[in-house]
Structure 1
C-alpha cells in the first residue's frame, strides 16, 4: 500500500485545522443548525436568549477584558514570583492569595508549577497556588458577579483561598513527615513561559501606555480575551437555553435541590466530567440555580470542576508522580465539598 502524505491544502487536513482552531464557534453553529432543522421555534428562541444574555453581561465582559489586557500589558502577572519567598507558612498564605487573585494565563500554569518544584520551592506552597489558581481571578470575579451575583462571587473567591490554604497546610504536614520526596516525574524540567517569570521576574510597568510595544500588547490581549470569552459564553448561553427549555425544573430540584448534603456531594462529583470552561460554566450553573439547584451545590460544582476538569487532571498527571496526583484530586474534591457545604449553611443562616 502506498503511503501518501496529505498536503496542508488537502480537504481532510484543512477540515482538521479548522475544527481544531474554531471548534467552539463551530459547536455553537452546529447546535443552532440542528435546532433549526428539528425545532425552528426553539432555534430562534435560543439565539435570542444567547444574544440577550451576552448583552446583559456586556458591562462585566468589558471590565473583565480590560483587567486581563491590563495585566498582560503592565506585566502585573510577574508579581506571582513574590508569593514564593519567606517562611513556609507565609509562602502558603501568599501562594493561596496569589492563586486566587492573580490574572495568570492558563498556558503558563503547568510550566510554572514544574519550574517552581524543580527550583526547590516547597510542594506545600506550590499546591496552595495550584489549587487556588483555576477557581478565581479578577476577570472571573467580575463575570461571576454579573452572572451569579456579588455574594456568589465573594463565596467563590473565599473558596479558592480556603482551598489553597487547606491544600498547602495538608501537604506541608505530609512533607514534614517524609512524604513526597520527589514530586515531579522523571524528565520534567523547569522550562516554559511560566518558569521564566519565576526565575527572572520583570519589572511591572504600571503606565504601560507610554510604551508603544506595551500598547500593542494591550490591544492584542484585549482582542484575544474578547474572542475567548465570546466563544465560550455564546456556547454556554445556548446550552443554558436548551437546559431551561428541555429539562424540567422539578427534575433539577429533586436531584440537586434541597437542604441536605447529598446535592452538594453530587454537585462536587458531577463537576469533574461536566465542566467545560470556567467562564462557560457560570451561565450553566445560573440556569440550574434558577431551576432549583441548591447554591451550595452550584459552588461545589464550580470549584471541583475548575480544579479537576479532565484537561487539567491530564496535565497534572503528566507532571507529577501518582502520590502527588492522588493528593491533588483528594484535596480538590474534599475542598469543593466543604466550600459548597459552608456556602449552603451561610445561605440558610
Structure 2
C-alpha cells in the first residue's frame, strides 16, 4: 500500500538530494520522509472512517457491548488478534488508537491493540519462520497475543480513563455532541461529510506537531544508533540480561521486520533467544517516538503506567522464552 511512498522517499533522498545511501543522514532522512507521509495518510483515513462510523453507530452502544461482563475478557483477545492482522509499527498504530478511544472503545481494549499491532504481523511472522523455524514462530505469536491481552486487561482494571489528556477528553465530548446532531436529524452521508471533515482537520492539526517530532526522533535513532551497541550487555551469563535488553531497547526505534535481522545476529553470537526477543519487543513495542506521539493523548503518568506494565510483561515473556527454547 505504501510502496510508492518508499519510492518517493528514495528518489528525494538519493537522487534529488544526491545523498549517499550509506550515510547516517541519508538513512535518517529517508526514514523521516517515508514515515511522515505514511502516518499522515493513516491519520486522515482512520480519523475519517471513524468519523463515519461514529456518525451512524451510537458510541454508548459500542462501549456497552465491549464492556459486557459476559465477554469474559475476550474483547482484549479480539483486539490483540486484530492487532496481528494490521501490519503497523508502534507510531503507525497511534492513529488507530486515537480512533478507537474517540469511538468509545474501552481503554484497556484499545491498549491490547496498541501493544500487539507492532509486535506481531504477517510480514514479521514470515521472516520469523524463515529465521527461527515454525516452533519458535508459534511461541512468538502466542506470546505476542497474550502480551497484548493480559496487558490490556491489567490496564483496564486500573481505571485509567481520568489520565487521558484534556485534548482527548474534548474529542470525546465533541464526538458525543456530533452524534446527537446526527441522530436528531435524518442526514445523508453527503450532509454529514462537512462535519466529519471538520473533525479530521481539528484532530490532525492537534496531533501533527507531535507526529513530526516523534518521527524525527525515530529517524535519528534509525540512522545513527549502531545495531550492535548493546550486544555486550545481553550475554547468557548475565542473569539480568532480559530486563537490560528490554530497557536499552526503548531508546531505539524500528518495526518488527526491520529489527528481526538484528535479532538473528544477536542469537548467532550466543545471546539467548528469549533475551533477543525481549530486546526486539522493547524496540518495537516501546519507543521514545511512540511516547512522544502518545503525549498528545495521554498524561505523562498514564504513559509511564502503560510503559511500565508492558515492560514488565515483556521481561516475563523473555524469561519464559529462555526456559522454553
The TM-score normalised by the length of structure 2 is 0.59
Q: Which runs of 5+ in 2 are unaligned?
A: 1-8, 27-61, 175-218
How big is the shift at 1:155? 2.8
Contact 1:135–1:156 under 8 Å retained in 2 = no
- Aligned residues, how many? 225
Equivalent residue in structure 2 for 1:115, among 95, 99, 104: 99
Q: Please give the alpha-carbon distance, in whole angstroms, between the structure 1 residues aligned to 2:92 and 2:118.
A: 12
**2:167 equivalent in structure 1:** 187
Aligned partner of 1:279 among 257, 269, 272: 257
Give 2:12's aligned residue.
Answer: 18
- Name the SS of the counterpart of 1:326 in structure 2: helix
Give 3-state SS (helix, strand or coil) of 1:279's partner: helix
Deviations 1:38-91 (A, max 9, x none): xxxxxxxxxxxxxxxxxxxxxxxxxxxxxxxxxxxxxxxxxxxx9984636121
Mapped partners of 1:148, 1:260: distance in 2: 23
Change (3 A) 1:261 1:97: farther
Report the alpha carbon displacement of residue 269 of structure 1 after superposing the two structures with TM.
1.2
Q: In the alignment, is residue 315 of structure 1 matched against residue 293 of structure 2?
A: yes
Asked whether 1:145 is paired with 2:125, we answer no
Alignment of 1:30-179 (within 5 A): 30=23, 85=66, 87=71, 89-99=73-83, 101-106=84-89, 109-175=93-159
Q: CA deviation at 1:337?
A: 0.5
CA distance, structure 1, for counterparts of residue 164 and residue 13 of structure 2: 33
- 1:47 is aligned to none
State the alpha-carbon separation in 1 of the partners of residues 21 and 242 from structure 2: 30
Gaps of 5+ in 1: 1-14, 34-81, 192-231
Contact 1:88–1:122 (CA<8 Å) still a contact in 2?
A: no
Give TM-score scaled by structure 1 length.
0.55
Partner of residue 317, structure 2: 339
Aligned to 1:324: 302
Q: How much has 1:320 moved relative to structure 2?
A: 1.3
What is the CA distance between 1:280 and its match in structure 2? Answer: 1.8
Moved more, 316-325 or 147-156: 147-156
Superposed displacement of residue 162, structure 1: 1.6
Are the structure 2 counterparts of residues 307 and 108 from structure 1 closer, same or farther at C-alpha, using a change threshold of 3 Å? closer
Is contact 1:156–1:303 with CA below 8 Å preserved after alignment? no
**In structure 2, which of residues 226, 234, 244 is the aligned counterpart of residue 266 of structure 1?**
244
